[in-house]
Amino acid sequence: MMENKQNYTIRPAQEGDLPRLKSLMLEYIVDFYGCNPPDDKRLEALMKQLLEQKEGIQFVADNGEKLAGFATLYFTFSTLRASRVVVMNDLYVVEEQRGRDVAAALVQACRRYTAQNGFAGMSWVTAHDNHRAQRFYDKIGGEREEWITYNISPEF
């Protein structure tokens, strides 16, 4: 566990966090990214699966009464590295806490977890128009890749 200067403890999510974390995840999905809310049961199942820490893990920034943000890592493999890697799929900090080192503390916890668990590296993507996030990632030493991300639905 780690504390930042705003007295938030950065730690893995726990069962007791689920109601607050679910609310924060919906804020991220619906309000921040403008997506439709996911099916309630599917979101809850995903959150519980992340608590098992077998295929991924979530970290939260907690001050005891409020969650200020979260980061989600998923475990996968890199053929190019012939090793296991993590993908930071989500990094979200509530608006009133942005610019106060909460995101940096969450990323640091993810980096530490990556190193301590023998992963070869951590990668992430962000929206092309999320310039605030890009400035943050540049500031913390993230390296932009030359890869272009594609997505396709499972329907033919």
- Could you write out the DSSP letters of every residue in 69-115? EEEEEEEEEETTTTEEEEEEEEEEE-GGGTTTTHHHHHHHHHHHHHH
Query: Residue 46 belongs to what H/E stretch?
Result: helix 40-52
Share of the chain above pLDDT 90, in %: 69
How high is the pLDDT of residue 145? 81
29-33, 65-69, 134-138, 147-151: lowest mean pLDDT where? Answer: 147-151
User: Is residue 106 packed enough to be buried (19+ CB in 10 Å), middle (13-18) or exposed (0-12)?
Assistant: buried
Confidence band for 132, pLDDT divided at 50, 70 and 90: confident
Q: Which tokens belong to 122?
A: 């951590």
* pTM given for the model: 0.87
Share of the chain above pLDDT 70, in %: 96
71-75, 85-89, 129-133: lowest mean pLDDT where? Answer: 129-133
Residues β-bridged to residue 8: none
Report the amino acid identity of residue 42.
Answer: R
Most confident segment among 5-14, 71-80, 136-145: 71-80
